Amino acid sequence: MTPASLLEHLETWYRQGKLRLLDISFARWCSRHDPAPTPELLLVTALVAYLEGRGHSCLDLDSLLLNTLTLGTELEAELAQVLTGLPRTLPVWQNTLYGSPCIRPPSSPVPSPLVLAENRLYLRRYWQYETALSQQIRQRTDPALWSLDALTNALPWLHALFPAHSEIHWQRVACALALRSPFTLITGGPGTGKTYTVARLLTVLLSQSARPEALRIALAAPTGKAAARLTESLQKALRELPSNLPAALDISTLIEQVGPARTLHSLLGQDWTTRQFRHDAAHPLDLDLLIVDEASMVDLKMMVALFDALPPRSRIVLLGDRDQLASVEAGAVLGDLCLHAEAGHYRPETATFLCALGEPPLPENLRDSKGSDLAQCRVMLRHSHRFGTAIGTLALAVNAGDVNSVTRLLKQETHSSLIWKECASPQEVVEVATRPTELSYGRFSRLLQTRPAASADFDAWALLLLQTLDQFRVLCALREGPWGVIELNRSIEQKLRAMGGLQPQGEWYEGRPVIITRNDADLSLANGDIGLTLRSPHPAQGLRVYFPDTARTLRARAPSRLNHVETAFALTVHKSQGSEFEHTCLVLPAPHPIVTRELIYTGITRARQRLTLLCADPNTLEVGLARPTQRTSGLKFES
């Protein structure tokens, strides 16, 4: 195959919509800057750009040559056909690619747009991100930084904060490991008590500080909704601390000292005109402890920026569910860091440390004399207080890819909290979403029609409306098409209007819920914030969009100032991360590459009490469960 014929293939794929303009443009650019471009160069340059757009940080050449590269599209078959005309051994490809001025090995002093590290090909910036993050994490997990005597004074507090347990108390283990290390990773599914654990960790850290009032603490999350939820759940956990503590603790002062969570962009002080952060290695954050929730949503670039901005002696605790959807941008950092979390890989010194805590001996399957430094700072919470329910059992089966168990659970009619239905039409989704007698938008619509006559009662009514709205949500896999967010939002609007609940007159109308899709520091609004459009109690102000504050007060914004919003009766599963709803209606289309095991799991685990699962095709679940998300990365820590 010649370079010209390969480029013709790429052009055809672009015209067919299988490659983006960015992908084909990068391949063209490399062909112009290489005096003798090869077919291999043109192919990998288009693919590495394509994969970056799908969340991968690099291209694995072994997977490419073995025809195991997961693209999730019909491009896979065409790619296999192209490869038949090219050499199929890695050494040949390495030699060929290193011959291009566009590609250099990591050790090369000559800059190049692409870096080939053994079998992994990177856009240079992503190689730099991975290298920097790997170094930062290794530094913070260095045993030389561990405080091995951390338990001496903290032990009474740990035993008071965590009730006696006959088995390993993983929440207490997480606290103990966080006491001795500047880096801690706590992963676990919904209901495993991640926030519960952090509330107790904060208590112990403050109890061990010589000047607890001077301890600088920050809470952060990727989105505004996730930050608000972290604030609410952490404050609740702090108020519910046991009374038998070794010393008195002023909970109100503790809550005030911790403060509300912020988005990562706000924490780092992003300048939206330059996209640069105010805080970096030269201007670090002024804090002693940083807690980041929903870490699965944090992409590689943001995680590097976060670690860059940490002061050398500060602590960082990452919380997240490794099985949820990864970040929208490139990288699956939490998934990479938790790759072997279930197997523990704790070294003998860690096992001894935990025995001193009073934990029973670690079972052999969690021990590893060669376990990595990272593994000694990582804890997987293994008991869910929610997963005894039908929804929880379903989530576990989905996570395991167990099609038979999933089907059996869905076909049982004994679960009032779990309903599964195959839909012939998207209108059936609308009917579920607007039923007046159930937890749905029908209830929200009725409440919307009870506007109080007195303006003094407006805030309480608006807060109740927002609370009712937040109890139910339609979640979709797609944005476009009959089963997507755009069409379903329009159909739900029309049905509520027919029911008399809404009176849409243009884009903005009373009762329109919206989600903020981009951070706006000027308006103090963050990506993921949910607001509700209502007529102001002051007639001259007209329509305003009301957002709840953590103090159960309202913030009003003029619709004309909201440039990045979407109607929020239906959301994508991606945008729902960091949220939970009493009743979740998960809508899955016919089999589609975007419907993966992680998307199904994430959608299911947004439901607290009730899940309605609506499928456009009976094969969607089986095909989706057989498609786990696999993002190529070089961020490996062995165990």
What residues form the annotated binding site for ATP? Answer: 188-195
Which runs of consecutive H residues, i.e. helices, occur in 181-322?
194-208, 224-239, 251-258, 264-268, 300-308
Structure tokens at 360: 């029973």
Phi, psi at residue 502, to the nearest 5°?
-125, 155
Q: Helix 403-411 to helix 390-399 angle, to the nearest 10 degrees?
A: 160
Task: Give the total residue count for the chain.
Answer: 639
Structure tokens at 506: 């243009």
Helix (H, G, I), strand (E, B) or coil at 588: strand
State the Cα angle at 608 between 603 and 610, rounded to 5°: 80
Q: How far apart are CA 573 and CA 296, in angstroms?
A: 14
Q: Are 380 and 582 in contact (CB under 8 A)?
A: no
Structure tokens at 239: 């108020």
Structure tokens at 339: 């790759």
DSSP letter for 362, please: P
- Euclidean distance between the first and the last CA atom of the chain, given in angstroms as a whole number: 42
Q: How far apart are CA 394 and CA 144, in angstroms?
A: 43
Q: How far apart are CA 568 and CA 562, in angstroms?
A: 14
Structure tokens at 76: 């896979």
State the Cα angle at 477 between 74 and 305, rounded to 5°: 90
Q: Are 604 and 631 in contact (CB under 8 A)?
A: no
Pairing of β 315-320 and β 472-476: unpaired
Q: How far is CA 336 from CA 47, 189, 333, 341, 636, in A?
A: 22, 16, 5, 10, 7
Q: How far apart are CA 325 and CA 344, in angstroms?
A: 22
Structure tokens at 501: 């609940």
Q: Are 203 and 157 in contact (CB under 8 A)?
A: yes
On the 0-12 / 13-18 / 19+ scale of CB atoms within 10 A, 516 is buried
Annotated binding-site positions: 188-195
Pairing of β 543-548 and β 530-535: antiparallel
Structure tokens at 343: 């197997």
What residue type is 513 in one-letter code? P
| Of 485, 433, 443, nearest in space to 467 by CA | 443
Q: Which residues contact 449 (CB under 8 A, 6 or more apart)?
A: 500, 501
Where in 589-631 does DSSP place strands (E)? Answer: 607-615
On the 0-12 / 13-18 / 19+ scale of CB atoms within 10 A, 91 is exposed
Q: How far apart are CA 368 and CA 382, in angstroms?
A: 19
